[in-house]
Amino acid sequence: MEPHIAFAPGAEDNPLAIWASDRIESTVLRAEAARRDFFALRAAVALVAPDKRLQVTLRFDHGYLTVHDGVIGVPDMTLCADEAALHGVAALPLTRLGRIPDLRRNAWRSLSLELLSGDLRIYGLFAHPRLLLRLLRVLGEA
């Protein structure tokens, strides 16, 4: 079964939606492990960039992704940060073994500082930690 990514009406004009869908598509097509995570996801994730006034909802449903313009419904997880910080979250390094966050890298230190300062807010982090890990895997570089 092939992954299916579609835009809801109006989302194709949102730069954050285009970036997220392109990044997920390229990662899922290149890495088998990211593909498995993509097919395991069933959740709604909102990405909010207040600096650019952009909002996107990613609705995952076991191999299907619908990208919506704006926040639709009550998402399971919301990442709220400047657009550059959202790009930084997607580029966080993962270990090869187990594909978990590589805490030895400087990128994680800067992410921790953004979380502590309030520049990056992740709503639903403690309720859905596995969702965040799978999201990082499908957004990350293969």
- Of 84, 34, 75, 28, give the one whose Cα is nearest residue 56: 75
CA distance 135 to 121: 15
Residues 67 and 20 sit within 8 Å (Cβ to Cβ): yes
Q: Tell the CATH topology of 4-139.
A: Nonspecific Lipid-transfer Protein; Chain A (3.30.1050)
pLDDT of 61-97, one tens digit each? 999 999 999 999 999 999 999 998 898 888 877 766 6
Let me know: does 34 contact 137? Beta carbons within 8 Å.
yes
Whole-angstrom distance, CA of residue 22 vs CA of residue 89: 16
The whole model's pTM is what? 0.88
pLDDT digits (tens, 9 = 90+) for 3-42: 999 999 999 999 999 999 999 999 999 989 899 999 999 9
